[in-house]
Amino acid sequence: ILTSFTPCVLPLLPITLLVIGVGHHRERRHNFGLAVMLTLGMMVTYAMMGSFAEVLGLQLGFLFQNEWVLGLIILFFLVMSAAMFELIHLQVPLWLRNLLMTLGGKGPLGAFLAGISMGFLAAPCVGPVMGALLAFVGLTQNVWLGFLLLCSFALGMGTLFIIVGTFYGQL
């Protein structure tokens, strides 16, 4: 849940909700449904990342015993930490951002597709947490653990979207 409050996820909250069709003039039930579909889209993205990390961990587990690979992982965490403290600026490439922003639209399907793209767009913002989760999943070599762990991560991130989306008119 706390990862939703990062400086690059929190400002996306009202914009994303408006793009998928949440509004103060809508019924609370409608807004809730759209916010849930957005969260489900994020869950699909993160669950795929978790499963992919497990597959890579299973096939490439011997690499985690190599000093160079461990050094690169440490370097990755240092770069992500520096980005989190805004010492450096990381951004998704412009062509990929433009492609992901064309997904989505109004309605349940649009909200679901927006959630899928939101998962990719928010990934750099929550990079240190996401990187740690993916590395852990890769080391455990358990596909179900990876799937469930990243689904729960997405549900935690989506909780704020669901709350704000549901009570959008009142807030």
Per-residue CA distances from 10 to 24, 69, 95, 148, 169 (Å): 19, 33, 23, 24, 18
58's CB contacts (< 8 A; 6+ apart) are: 141, 143
Contact in structure between 105 and 18 (CB atoms under 8 Å): no
Residues composing the chain: 171
| DSSP label of 66 | S
On the question of pLDDT at 58 being above 60, the answer is no
Residues 102-157 have pLDDT tens digits of: 665 667 888 888 888 877 777 767 777 877 887 787 777 777 887 888 889 889 88
Residue that has been written with the tokens 């399907």 in this structure: 109
